Amino acid sequence: MSAHTPSPPLIRAVLIGVTGRMGQALMRAAPHFSELLITGAIASAGSLALGRDAGEIAGAGHANLAVSSDLALALKQADVALDFSTPAALTANLAACRAARRPLLIGTTGFGPGAQREFDAAAADIALLVAPNTSLAVALLAELTAHAARALPHFDIDIVEAHHRSKRDAPSGTALALAQAARAARGQAPAPPPEPAPARPADAIEIASLRAGDLVGEHTVLFTGRGEQLSLAHRAMDRGIFARGALTAALWLAPRPPGRYAMRDLLVSKTVT
């Protein structure tokens, strides 16, 4: 074996929504990923940050990377894109990535019901990973939730989530994904979040959303039987966990063929650290 281990090829990534809370967390986390280089910093066409340095905005030092709204141009010089922006930008972002044949990780949440069709259509052309939560521990929470839902078939399931006061969607995308994991494990069809009702339908999974202060994100799945309760909980204390998970997933996604992928696919193919 040679004394010199060849460096892995550098993966070039575009961050869409780079000026937001998550975009800035990604800019701060990226320098810790030696195989990754951020080559595109995208904001909206009306962004006040156009032309400014994305690293400086994030408090990560000068990155020599000007914020732009030209996604098509940025994709030409990149291997993968990460989207943490807004549901309104979905159609345009998917179209640009399909035209450029670039893999896309979507971390944005709050999409309407029509988005699934758009995701499936795009996955015919590109590798697409849609993750309402890019924490690998939350991917494990979904697996544990599915396991408990199967193992405790007569227990009621409820989800409590809490986030910062500026979060736009409620329930959170993570809460809906956890409910979906439990439903699928019990062989139930996907369902919209139930309205609060005096008599609880047998298959209801209720979600309680709390918006307060600067909470980063908390999810608790409760399994309640007669005289006992099992509680599975995850608490995010720093957006860096989502940023590190997203960048790990982007590196994993970049070489994949077209298709739909999820964070749980990383759980089976890599050791969680």
Ligand X SMILES: NC(=O)c1ccc[n+]([C@@H]2O[C@H](COP(=O)([O-])OP(=O)(O)OC[C@H]3O[C@@H](n4cnc5c(N)ncnc54)[C@H](OP(=O)(O)O)[C@@H]3O)[C@@H](O)[C@H]2O)c1
> Which residue is at the shortest CB distance from ligand X?
20
| 3-state SS class at 26 | helix
163: annotated active-site residue: yes
Q: What are phi and psi of 228, to 5 degrees?
A: -155, 155
Cβ closest to ligand X, residue 27 vs residue 131: 131
State the binding string over 234-263 for ligand X (x if CB under 6 A, else -). --------x---------------------
Cβ closest to ligand X, residue 134 vs residue 204: 134
Taking every pair of C-alpha atoms in the chain, what is the biggest distance, in angstroms?
70
Cβ closest to ligand X, residue 21 vs residue 147: 21
Q: Pick out residues in 102-121 that bind ligand X (CB under 6 A).
A: 107-110
Contact 109, 173 (CB under 8 A): yes
Q: Does 42 bind ligand X (CB under 6 A)?
A: yes
Compute the least distance from the CB of residue 112 to ligand X, in Å.
13
Paired residues of 205 in beta bridges: 157
For ligand X, the binding residue among 40, 103, 132, 171 (CB under 6 A) is: 132
Q: In what order do the strands lie in the sheet with 80-83?
A: 36-42, 11-16, 80-83, 104-106, 127-130, 259-261
Q: Pick out residues in 45-74 that bind ligand X (CB under 6 A).
A: 47, 49
In which residue are the tokens 């739909």 written? Answer: 260
Catalytic residue among 32, 76, 154, 163: 163
Contact 251, 11 (CB under 8 A): yes
Compute the least distance from the CB of residue 8 to ligand X, in Å.
25
